[in-house]
């Protein structure tokens, strides 16, 4: 099986660390036509290890940096749509431009973070969040990178957590949904001031490598795990 670390299609792009140690204030404005999201934050230390190459130029270079500069972004809502509540306690989002959809808990707010395609988080518990990253790839199937455990271990250690933090893979599984392969995995990240329990799902479609990650503080895991599992299981890729 292909090695995820040695694959010729994996060598250059940087991911933003998904586990913030600090968080700042953010203010989401109402979505009317063109929306404005403002987030003043200190971004976390980056997991600045190469993971996925860009086989062709993508719409953004994902760069892992720390900054205290306020981030201000405008985006056109026509590129994706927010549906009405589709399951009790959840809202759905469908990105028709990039070809993916998922559910997130009602009450979470959308924020903009450099290097991530979409992020929703709880205002009071900011480590309770869901984020989506996507990068160009020449691969056609997630299984081309190797078995679930191998891919999960590499993603966690090289991308989803800083090298200075301890990580533990709990489980990794493969799922076939409507003829498309998805990997799902559960893991823990130990930082100096918190422990985060997380779930991720990854897949390939539309020439992109998709990663959705959600999680919470370990102390709130028992309360949140069913909702976070719903988020992971809802993730779908469709033709864009």
pLDDT at 112: 95
Comparing CA positions, the residue from 130, 108, 105, 117 lying closest to residue 210 is 117
- Give the DSSP H/E element, type plus range, for residue 111: strand 109-111
Measured CA angle at 231 (ends 36, 122), to 5 deg: 45
Q: For 38-74, give one letter per residue: b (16+ CB within 10 A) or e.
A: ebebebbbbbbeebbbbeeebeeebebeeeeeebeee
Would residue 18 count as lying in a domain? no
Beta bridge mates, 76: 34
Would residue 15 count as lying in a domain? no
Which structural domain range is residue 60 located in?
Answer: 26-237
Tens digit of each residue's pLDDT (9 = 90 or more) over 112-140: 999 999 999 999 999 999 999 999 999 99
pLDDT band, residue 86 (cuts 50/70/90): low
Tens digit of each residue's pLDDT (9 = 90 or more) over 91-114: 999 999 999 999 999 999 999 999
Is the CB of residue 216 less than 8 Å from the CB of residue 73?
A: no
Would residue 127 count as lying in a domain? yes
Q: Which residues contact 230 (CB under 8 A, 6 or more apart)?
A: 87, 90, 103
Does 226 have pLDDT greater than 80? yes
Would residue 19 count as lying in a domain? no
Q: Which percentage of the chain shows pLDDT scores above 90?
A: 62
Is the CB of residue 229 less than 8 Å from the CB of residue 212?
A: no
Whole-angstrom distance, CA of residue 2 vs CA of residue 178 = 24
Does 236 have pLDDT greater than 80? yes
| Mean pLDDT within 17-34 | 38
Q: Which percentage of the chain shows pLDDT scores above 70?
A: 64
pLDDT at 8: 37
Whole-angstrom distance, CA of residue 54 vs CA of residue 216 = 31
Would residue 21 count as lying in a domain? no
Average pLDDT across the chain, whole number? 76
Does 55 have pLDDT greater than 60? no
pLDDT at 10: 39
Is the CB of residue 188 less than 8 Å from the CB of residue 100?
A: no
Whole-angstrom distance, CA of residue 177 vs CA of residue 155 = 22
| Mean pLDDT within 154-179 | 95
Would residue 11 count as lying in a domain? no
pLDDT at 4: 47
Total domain count, the chain:
1
Q: What is the CATH number of the domain that holds 128?
A: 3.40.1000.10
Is the CB of residue 117 less than 8 Å from the CB of residue 130?
A: no
Residue in the structure block whose two tokens are 């405008």: 74
pLDDT at 87: 85
Is the CB of residue 112 less than 8 Å from the CB of residue 39?
A: yes
pLDDT at 176: 97
């Amino acid at each position: 099986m292909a090695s995820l670390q040695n694959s010729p299609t994996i060598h250059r792009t940087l991911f933003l660390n998904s586990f913030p140690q600090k968080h700042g204030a953010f203010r989401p404005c109402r979505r009317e036509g063109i929306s404005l999201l403002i987030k003043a934050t200190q971004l976390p230390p980056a997991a600045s290890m190469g993971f996925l190459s860009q086989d062709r130029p993508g719409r953004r270079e994902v760069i892992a940096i720390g900054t205290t500069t306020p981030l201000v972004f405008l985006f056109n809502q026509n590129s994706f749509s927010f549906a009405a509540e589709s399951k009790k306690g959840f809202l759905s989002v469908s990105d028709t431009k990039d070809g993916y959809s998922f559910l997130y808990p009602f009450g979470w707010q959308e924020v903009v973070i450099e290097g991530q395609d979409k992020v929703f988080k709880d205002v009071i518990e900011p480590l309770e969040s869901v984020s989506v990253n996507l990068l160009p790839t020449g691969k056609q199937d997630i299984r081309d990178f190797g078995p679930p455990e191998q891919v999960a271990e590499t993603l966690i250690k090289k991308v989803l957590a800083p090298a200075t933090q301890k990580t533990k893979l709990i489980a990794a599984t493969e799922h076939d949904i409507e003829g498309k392969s998805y990997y799902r995995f559960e893991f823990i990240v130990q930082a100096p001031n918190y422990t985060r329990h997380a779930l991720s799902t990854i897949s390939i479609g539309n020439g992109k490598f998709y990663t959705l990650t959600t999680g919470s503080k370990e102390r709130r895991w028992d309360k949140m795990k069913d909702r976070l599992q719903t988020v992971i299981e809802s993730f779908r890729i469709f033709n864009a």
